[in-house]
Chain A
Amino acid sequence: MLLTWLWLAPAAAMLVVWALPSRRLSRAAALAVSAGVLAYSLWLLAPYAAGEGLLRLEESGRAGPLGIRYHLAVDGIALPLCWLTALLSALSIAASWKADVPNAFWASFLGLESALMGVFLSRDLFYFFIFWDMALVPMFFIIGLWGSEGRRKAALKFALYTFLGSLSLLIGLAALATFHHGATGVWTWDMGELTRTPVMGRAAIWIYAALALGFAVKIPVFPLHNWLPDAHTEAPAAGSVMLAGSMLKMGLFGFLRILLPVFPELSAAALPFLGGLGVVNILYGAFCAMAQSDLKRLVAFTSVSHLGFCLVGIFSLTAAGIAGGSLQMLNHGLSTGGLFLLVGMLYERAHRRGLSDFGALASRTPVFAFFFCFILLSSIGLPGLNGFVGEMLSLAGMAQVSRLLAALGLLGAVLAAAWGLPAFQAVFWAPPGTDSVSDKIADLDLRERAILWVLLVLILWIGLYPRPLLELMEPAVSALAQR
């Protein structure tokens, strides 16, 4: 029952928080619950992370006639993502402390957290899909109800794209189970058993394509990314932290958890195509980020670029690459989550996001400038910070397979400096423009500093000493690696 509490507690708390009479009470309860879940996940999973007994921590009910079995388990790849989700929801709730929003706002965050935990923990494809779709409803309301001006259109576009994806995912999963039954005569949706039987022939390609499309919409891979900038720009700060921090990882997690183990040779065949798409993601995201005038939209495009690195890493199918990809998932959550928090704090004070709206903030708010500069550098991939470790490992992994893709990916690192520093300079160094509001902006208060210090310490720790995390992922990664 231990693992079930991870997603059940936030879900139950969601209802309680929603029903609480006063807004302040529900806000405090939400923070308490999310902090509790974070503590619980650390306490529960830390000992298992250290020892080899990672896979032993699983719980599963009886398999129903449809072969569906309530089966939760955690392994090297899922564990960091659970921690990341718990951490980010606690931080985002703390970050939007001053927002005047109804109880439903806090409830939807807890609902989102429980759904995401469910996705990362469930080993059964059916429950994986249930949690996958459940995660979309709270995010739809977070963007739709509490976003900024263009929130309605963004929420609708978000819903349309993700439902399209989850529909193709449903058909893919059902077809996979049916195909599996055809081959072995056993109805099962469990990821473990599905990997044991070879799914061959033309049908496998169709299933692979359907599942890949479902996950690609969520990552988002280049042609299907159009919903991301709008969703990020219009979502409230905390919303885009959760969206960028852990929701985008569902797609990648799907690749790692379902496509790679079940279709090893198809993934190898798809390597040039999907690796190439990853590189396109990196370059496209970087170029678009360079051309943005809205700070939040810029950060949104950077997460497209970062996820490109994850994709390149994962689809190098080498041990280093996959380790790099999954580590980059974690890093992206921290650095882009941090950036969104910062932009949110800026928006909270000045209600404006344009690059030209601010100026010379370095002199007015030095602490804010320090944090922004630090997290921006981690996002650019400055060595010594966490971004570099993920990118370096991913590209090094891909270099083992195709040097061209690795070189193009590295070009992304140059472009990162091209979009990162001008943005920093426009907001903090350049003199204030005509309609700038930087005189109204106060420096960070204690609460905001505490939140950012947590991120800072994590970023520095992973940057300087990523070994424990990499060893944590070692067993799961070497199982997937083919080279």
Chain B
Amino acid sequence: MTPESIPLSLFAPQLPIAGALAGALLAGMFSKHRSGTLARIIGAAGVLAGSALLFWGPPYADTWLVRAGGIARAWQLFFHLAALAFLASHRAQGEQPVALLLAALLGMDLIAAANDLLALYLGLELMSLPTYLLVYGLKPQKRSLEAAVKYFFAGGAASGMFLFGLSIWYAGTGTTALAPGGMLDRGPSSAASLAFVLMGSAALFKVGAFPFHFWLPDVYEASEPELGAFMSTAVKAAGFLMLMLLSIGHSSFDPIGNSGALFPNLGAWLPVVSVATMTVGNLLALRQTNLRRLLGYSSIAHVGTLLSAVWVWQAGGHGEELATIWFYLGATLFMNTGAFLFLKLAGISQVSELRGYGSRAPWAAAFFALMLLSLGGIPPTSGFLAKFYVVWDLLKGGGIGLAAAVAFNSLLGLGYYLNLIRVMALEEPGQRTPAEPPRPDAGTALVLLCCAAAATVGFLPEAREWLFTLMTL
């Protein structure tokens, strides 16, 4: 069976981005010193055009290789948003970072649109390679090189596992399509499960779940904060998307339906991994002195919560659970971006530098406190609402134990979030506290404003429904 060829129009949203990639590289050729800003503008234009095309571009299509519109569009919009935040806030020299980012963005768009395991693999590769380089490229020094190397090898091992899983799957079913059938027609065999576990662990690696999380704190600590923001939002979302694609298979993935899981045995071990991830993330975060590393572990803790949301979703969830996952990822997008950008602007990386910062820069401190409150899940903030939806679905879906674990971990989380607020607000400024308040420029200020606005959406319990309708219109 020779698959029919894919019309180029399906890739309409991705073309402007590829164009921007090429444009950025060319910009680098012409003017040496102003190439950075020029590349950023081109990049941003490309991404915006891509997002615009997402809505007015190709109608809903579901070919053997790629999908367009529907759920895929929702995820791609999310990735574009994260990329825009990165472009608006990063200040590195040269056009390299912009080009690498756009390449990574293309990779993510491919993952979102993948209907075929091979496309998924190539998307994973295209997303990972530029990220390894960005970790070192943005701030070339010993620490970031070390982080990049660690990230490369861990990522390499993961994609190696993914590939091996893919080969087993291909050997078993003879097709690399992301569709139930083939080997499964004769019922779930051990080979299929092995294939899934290998591919699933690659997804878990990308997300930073428990056994695969060791690289994450080092990379967040050493890389630039805006990359940390980008990775903790977009790359994490891509990881979750892969996990969901693998566990359900695309056909039943679209909007509401949830017929038969490609790999039904996900339910057995996902709760264990999610509770382990939550607890490890929170416990290790309690002792951190480096703020970026702390945000890394907090991101791991949030991954634990999200994994339990994914568990409920795949255990027979409907649109609601999917909306919960989206809302949580959306909330994380704004919370993490806000927190990381604050660290970048304030030039703070150690907790001791945060001491008494409230008296030096009250408004910046208030912003960071709002972000921390949202990360910690204190009621009026969107973080609380996200966690509330997860606990709500868990209770509805019968995961009482998981709900209790999420609740307990949010108390653990308060231990370090509240501590930061205490250090910032209640302590006297130490000698290492930066003297003057941060001066964000236009782009970053806009991003920070959006983060602050999004953090206070805790008042509207219907926010999840609006998000779902927005994403699936």
Residues of A within 8 A of B (CB): 64-66, 68, 102, 104, 126, 129-130, 132-134, 137, 141, 144-145, 151-152, 155-156, 159-160, 163-164, 166-167, 170-171, 174-175, 178
CB-defined contacts of A170 to chain B, threshold 8 Å? 388, 391, 407
Residue contact A171 to B404, C-beta cutoff 8 Å: yes
Q: Chain A's nearest CB lies how many Å from the CB of B468?
A: 10
Does B422 contact A144, Cβ atoms closer than 8 Å? yes
Residues of A within 8 A of B462 (CB): 64-66, 68
A residues within 8 A CB of B434?
A: none
5 tightest A-B CB contacts, nearest first: A133-B379, A68-B461, A64-B462, A144-B426, A152-B426
Q: Which of B400-437 contact A (CB under 8 A)?
A: 403-404, 407, 410-411, 414, 418, 422, 425-427
Min CB distance A144 to B, Å, is 5
User: Which of B373, B388, B427 is the most central at the interface, judged by chain A CB atoms within 10 Å of its CB?
Assistant: B388
Q: List 23 A-B contacts (CB under 8 A).
A: A64-B465, A65-B462, A66-B462, A68-B461, A102-B362, A126-B461, A129-B379, A130-B459, A132-B379, A133-B378, A133-B379, A134-B380, A137-B380, A145-B425, A151-B426, A155-B422, A155-B426, A160-B414, A167-B411, A170-B391, A174-B391, A174-B392, A175-B395
What residues of chain B lie closer than 8 Å to A64, measured between beta carbons?
461-462, 465
| B379 & A156 in contact (Cβ 8 Å cutoff) | no
Closest to A187 in B: B396
- Determine if B461 and A171 form an interchain contact, defined as CB atoms under 8 angstroms apart: no
The reply to whether A159 and B426 form a contact with Cβ atoms under 8 Å apart is: no
Note all chain B residues with C-beta closer than 8 A to A141.
Answer: 425
Given the interface pairs A104-B362, A126-B461, A145-B425, the reply to whether A167 lies near B378 with Cβ below 8 Å is no
Decide if A164 touches B465 in the complex (CB within 8 Å): no
Distance (whole angstroms) from the CB of B345 to the closest CB of chain A: 21
Residues of B contacting A: mostly: helix
A159 touching B404 in the complex, CB below 8 Å, given contacts A144-B425, A145-B425: no
Interface centre among B391, B396, B426, B427 (most CB of A within 10 A): B426
Contact present for A130 and B380 (CB under 8 Å)? yes
Of the residues A137, A152, A163, contact of B414 by C-beta under 8 Å: A163
- With A and B bound together, what is the CA distance between A130 and B382 in angstroms? 12
* Complex CA distance for A178 and B378, rounded to whole angstroms: 22
**Neighbouring A residues of B391 by C-beta, 8 Å:** 170-171, 174
Would A130 and B458 count as touching, CB distance under 8 A? Answer: yes
A104–B392 Cα distance when bound, in Å, is: 35
Q: How far is the CA of A145 from the CA of B396 in the complex (A)?
A: 41
Could you say which residues of chain B place their CB within 8 Å of the CB of A167? 407, 410-411
In the assembled complex, which residues on chain B have CB atoms less than 8 Å from the CB atom of A152? 422, 426-427
List the A residue with the shortest CB-CB distance to B414. Answer: A163
B289, chain A: closest CB distance, angstroms: 19
CB distance from B321 to the nearest CB of A (A): 13
Which residues from A are CB-within-8-Å of B362? 102, 104
B423 to chain A, nearest CB (A): 10
Flag if A66 contacts B392 (CB, 8 Å).
Answer: yes
Across chains A and B, the number of contacting residue pairs, with CB separation under 8 Å, is 69
CB contacts (< 8 Å) of B426 on chain A: these are 144-145, 151-152, 155
A170 to B384, CA, bound (A): 11
Q: Which residues does chain A contribute within 8 Å of B410, judged by CB atoms? A: 167
Report chain B residues within 8 Å CB of A132.
Answer: 379
- CB-based contact B395/A174 at 8 Å: yes
Residue ID in chain B nearest A159 by CB atoms: B418
B391's nearest neighbour on chain A, judged by CB, is A174
Contact A156 B418 (CB under 8 A): yes
A68-B461, A130-B459 given; name 11 further pairs at CB < 8 Å.
A66-B461, A66-B462, A104-B362, A151-B426, A152-B426, A166-B379, A167-B411, A170-B391, A171-B403, A174-B403, A178-B395
The complex places the Cα of A129 from the Cα of B384 at a distance, in Å, of 11
Q: CA separation between A104 and B426, bound complex, in Å?
A: 13
Give the residues in chain A near B392, CB-CB below 8 Å.
66, 174
On chain A, the residues within 8 Å of B404 by CB distance are 171
Contacts of B380 in A (CB 8 A): 130, 133-134, 137
Which residues of chain B have C-beta atoms less than 8 A from A156's C-beta?
Answer: 418, 422
| B264 to A: closest C-beta gap in Å | 26
Contact yes or no, B458 A137, CB < 8 A = no
Interface residue ranges of B346-366 to A (CB < 8 Å): 362
Chain B residues within an 8 Å CB radius of A166: 379
Query: Which residues does chain B contribute within 8 Å of A164, judged by CB atoms?
Result: 411
Query: Which residues of chain B come closer than 8 Å to A66, judged between CB atoms?
Result: 392, 461-462
Q: State in angstroms the CA–CA spacing of A137 and B384 once bound together.
A: 14
Write the B443-473 contact mask toward A (1 if CB under 8 angstroms, else 0): 0000000000000001101100100000000
Q: Do residues A65 and B373 form an inter-chain contact, with CB atoms below 8 A?
A: no
Q: Are A137's CB and B373's CB within 8 A?
A: yes
In the complex, the answer to whether B461 meets A137 with C-beta atoms within 8 Å is no
Instruction: State the CA gap A37–B402 with chains docked (Å).
Output: 44
The chain B residue sitting closest to A65, CB to CB, is B465
CA distance A129 to B459 in the complex (A): 11
**In the docked arrangement, what's the CA distance between A137 and B404, Å?**
24
Q: For residue A80, give the distance in angstroms from its CB to the closest CB of chain B.
A: 26
- Residues of the A chain whose Cβ atoms lie less than 8 Å from the Cβ of B407: 167, 170-171
Q: How far is the CA of A365 from the CA of B280 in the complex (A)?
A: 61
Q: How far is the CA of A112 from the CA of B437 in the complex (A)?
A: 28
Q: How far is the CB of B120 from chain A (nearest CB, A)?
A: 33
Which chain B residues numbered 22 to 74 have a C-beta less than 8 Å away from chain A?
Answer: none
User: Which residues on the B side are within 8 Å of A159 (C-beta)?
Assistant: 414, 418
Report the Cα distance A141→B370, complex, angstroms: 13
Contact A137 B378 (CB under 8 A): yes
- Separation of A133 and B414 alpha carbons in the complex (Å): 13
A137 to chain B, nearest CB (A): 7
Give Cα distance in the complex from A130 to B378, angstroms.
9
* Binary interface encoding of chain B residues 371-388 relative to chain A, with 1 for a CB under 8 A from any of its CBs, else 0: 001000011100010001
- Chain B contacts for A129, CB-based, 8 A: 379
A164 and B411 CA atoms in complex are apart in Å by 7
Minimum distance in angstroms from A65 CB to a CB of chain B:
6
Chain A residue at smallest Cβ distance from B463 = A64
Taking CB atoms, residues of chain B closer than 8 Å to A126 are: 461
Distance A156 CA – B416 CA, assembled complex (angstroms): 12
Closest to A151 in B: B426
Q: State the Cβ distance, B222 to closest chain A Cβ, in Å.
A: 32
Chain B residue numbers with a CB within 8 Å of A171 are: 391, 403-404, 407
